Amino acid sequence: MKCQIYKYLGIDRYNEIEKTEVLNPESQIYKFSINNEVKKYKIYPGKIIKEKDINSEYTLYKCEDGAYPIQNQLIKGYEYILFFDNDYIKSIKQLTIVDNKYKPPIKCIPGVRTLKNLISTAFQPVGTTLYIFGGGWDFQDIGASNETRTIGISPNWVKFFDEQNSNYTYKDYNNKNMSYYPFKEYNVFYYAGLDCSGYVGWVLYNTFYTKSLSEKGFVTYAKKMAKSLADKNYGKWMHKIEGTTNYNPNYKILAEELKVGDLISSTQHVMIVLGKCKDNSFIVFHSSPSNSKKGYPGGGVQISAVNIKDSGSINCEAYSLCKEYMEKYFKKWSERYEVIVIPTDVVFDFDDIVPTSGIFHWDLDKGIMNDPENYSLKSAKEILIDLFR
């Protein structure tokens, strides 16, 4: 008997129903097209377990055999074979194959915990993964998605990037149907790109592990990511630094504290330090909704500069290096976007109201992270030359 092929169209009444409804399996209705006809189904919930999310006011509804295992696989526009139990979808098989032919300009080795490999891994999605608010988080929006627990770049990110242009915007209040922003606090496009915490979570997973979907992952709130690694005894976390206050920081002192591979968790953003320059500027990896050359937000994974001497100014070595390497090795991205300089007060926004914000340093003595190539002693320029030679 020939199997029926269903094209997934998304959640019924998306951006109309509230998140509490979306998280209740009995309220979720999924739309598919088959033979040019739209069909609506529910996913088999099994025994529903109610559980309070400690990070929000929401009650989570989990299936007995796991948290939304089917929902975390569905991708809008993809084709599936559906298997039913009465009128419920019991399991699925994806038919759409995404052939990811993109090859990053440098290589990384999954599971190799060295500073060089951490930086190499951070470069993998640069210039080919757009910004999605909630991108890299799972369906239930409490942790890492399948994509950020997968070894290698998700072909879904590359496919989505290739389908867009300079007009892409992750958030458009005037045309919600063409927007990728969760107006009801839930994003059905979480698989299509990465936000800042989703990106850093993917980098960490690919640096620490060699097998996809075998571990819980590292995705958590941006403001908590630096401290979360310290809580795992991976290194040192600092919220207050001697000689500064969180309301009147000395950015020069803060910058001097930074080391290669550090995580910076500000109140609303998280970044990975690539390296510092001789003029005390430095380069970070991050996923940002930076504007395209046409003024639309959504730049995604990129390297950016921080200018300590003159906040926001392009007159620094870090900016020159970012511009040189983004334009040379990530040409398609550079056709749409400009390299940005992040203001120092955004990078070092360690507010006492958010006590988990701060800087994380890897412990190179315990063996959690190693440095056989002496990257901790290299400048940003030396690191870039070494990686791209």
Return the pLDDT at 271.
98
Evaluate whether residue 104 is within a structural domain.
no
Poorest-pLDDT segment among 4-13, 61-70, 76-85, 177-186: 61-70
90 pLDDT band (50/70/90 cuts)?
confident
Q: Tell me what pLDDT residue 65 has.
A: 45
In this structure, the answer to whether residues 369 and 311 fall within a common structural domain is yes
Q: What is the pLDDT of residues 224-282, one digit of tens each?
A: 999 999 999 999 999 988 888 888 899 999 999 999 999 999 999 999 999 999 999 99
- Residue pointed to by tokens 């640096």: 207
In a domain, 231, yes or no: yes
d(Cα 173, Cα 165) in Å, to the nearest integer?
19
* SS3 of residue 6 by DSSP: strand
274 part of a folded domain: yes
- Domain final residue, candidates 94, 126, 161: 94
Q: How many CB atoms lie within 10 A of CB 127?
A: 24
Asked if residue 156 and residue 89 are part of one domain, the reply reads no
Residue 253 lies in a domain: yes
Backbone angles phi, psi at 231, to 5 degrees: -65, -20
Q: Is 129 in contact with 97 (CB distance < 8 Å)? A: no
- pLDDT tens digits for range 129-144: 999 999 999 988 889 9
**What is the model's pLDDT at position 39?**
95
Considering the chain, what percentage of its residues have pLDDT values greater than 90?
Answer: 71
Any domain includes 187: yes
Which residues, other chains included, contact 198 with Cβ-Cβ below 8 Å and sequence gap of 6+?
132, 134, 135, 136, 137, 144, 145, 148, 219, 287
Tokens (6 digits) for 65: 């055999």
Asked whether residue 45 is assigned to any structural domain, the reply reads yes
In a domain, 106, yes or no: no
Kindly report the number of other CB atoms within 10 A of residue 329's CB atom: 18
pTM: 0.93
Please name every residue paired with 112 in a beta bridge, in sequence order, or none if there are none.
Answer: none
Residue 24 pLDDT greater than 90, yes or no: no
Q: What is the mean pLDDT of the chain?
A: 91
Dump the DSSP string for 174-215. Answer: T-GGG--S-TTS--TTTTSSB-HHHHHHHHHHHHH-SSTTSS
Q: Are 258 and 223 contained in the same domain?
A: yes
Question: Which two three-digit tokens encode residue 165?
Answer: 């242009």
Reported confidence tier of residue 60, pLDDT bands at 50, 70, 90: very low
Percentage of residues in the chain with pLDDT exceeding 70? 93
Residue 191 shares a structural domain with residue 336: yes
Last residue in a domain, options 44, 63, 94: 94
Which pLDDT band, with edges at 50, 70 and 90, does 118 fall under? very high
pLDDT tens figures, 29-57: 999 999 999 999 998 776 655 555 555 55
Residues 143 and 245 in one domain: yes
* Domain end position, chosen among 94, 126, 153: 94
Specify the pLDDT at position 48: 53
Name the domain count of the chain: 2
Note whether 175 and 261 are same-domain residues: yes
Q: Are residues 304 and 374 in the same domain?
A: yes
Indicate if 154 and 11 belong to the same structural domain.
no
> 300 and 181 in one domain?
yes
Decide if 68 is inside a domain: yes
Q: How confident is the model at residue 78 (pLDDT cuts 50, 70, 90)?
A: very high
Domain that holds residue 51: 6-94
Q: What is the DSSP string of 8-74?
A: EEEETTTTTS-HHHHTSTTT--EEEEETTEEEEEEEP--S-EEEE-TTSSPEEEEBTTBSSTTTTT-
Summarised one tens digit per residue, pLDDT across range 353-369 is 888 999 999 999 988 99
pLDDT band at 21 (very low <50, low <70, confident <90, very high): confident
pLDDT of residue 28: 81
Q: Which one has a higher pLDDT value, 21 or 266?
A: 266
pLDDT score at 351:
84
Mean pLDDT of 321-342: 98
Residues 121 and 173 in one domain: yes
pLDDT value at residue 47: 60
Same domain, 248 and 374: yes
pLDDT value at residue 99 = 83
Mean local confidence (pLDDT), 165-191: 87
238: which strand partners? 359
Confidence label for 19 from pLDDT (cuts 50, 70 and 90): confident
- For residues 128 and 89, membership in a common domain is answered with no
